[in-house]
Structure 1
């Protein structure tokens, strides 16, 4: 299988689910603790440096942000075809310096989107490989399982660890099903993750 990201663009942003446009194509959501590298991962996937604004300040994403990705997919058998997919950047969780009011509003926003969004096909749960799976991450994975949403666990920033420590860190994450490593800096893991996303979006057969 081969793929080409033809275009990637911002669609909409909202802090209220009622203000989001209805889904018209399959959606993949990205969730994770604040400053875990979520924006960098999305930018790396679409090979665009500034599609999603990155920030050194944790908790910069305060609403649900939608991005449309135009693809050209060439399966191992058959002709190339064009396809569309929406990426959904969810607010980061676990950042203590935001006000209690903000944090209370994020919970229902994220939970409401994950539980009710008709076009949602999978949720990429992102963790920092150097920190491993934290309590908030485990709770999110358990919640997704309880509502029947497929989850893909991705450990980012693998390039930040020396090879001698990388395997040990990934082994902890790999105890979870469908887990994988990723480096937005080097692109390591990009093709593997894209295959998973396209399968979950029913744009690529098993």
Structure 2
């Protein structure tokens, strides 16, 4: 059975645009997923990238055209200028980590719902009340926002180190652990699908 390490940033528009296609692909091939939220700005700094705000204006302008193109292509709602962005990624990342450790709920649904809360619903995904509601809606104990704080912080930091060591340099980044095949960007999910079909 193949296993996918999914490095993600909860405020990444590209992770949001991935939707639940990763989960659909994994289910089709009997693959498992480990969700590894991290601080993507630190990942850029560590691997030679540049955060969106520091990029040349031509890159920023292209990004502003490409995001709505992809949203339209994928049929996903999206507010290109959400009310709470950028926002502290840590609390929502801790919630995902705690939920993954606890098990029992719809983790993929939770991950997408957190990003949808940011990019569609204009919710503050660093707010504990927002996260408690999303956890409960997806079958997890809302108290994980509090009880998962320490383990979440430790894993969040560790995920960054693991991403750098594994060769990830942006998000979303998918690595098939068994074959060390790496796929950067939601626009590479078809390639991931094709690769899993060969295993």
Q: Specify which structure has the higher proportion of helix.
A: 2
Fold-level match, TM-score > 0.5? no
The higher relative CO (CA closer than 8 Å, separation ≥ 6) is in 2
Name the TM tier (shorter chain). Answer: under 0.3
TM-score (norm 2): 0.27
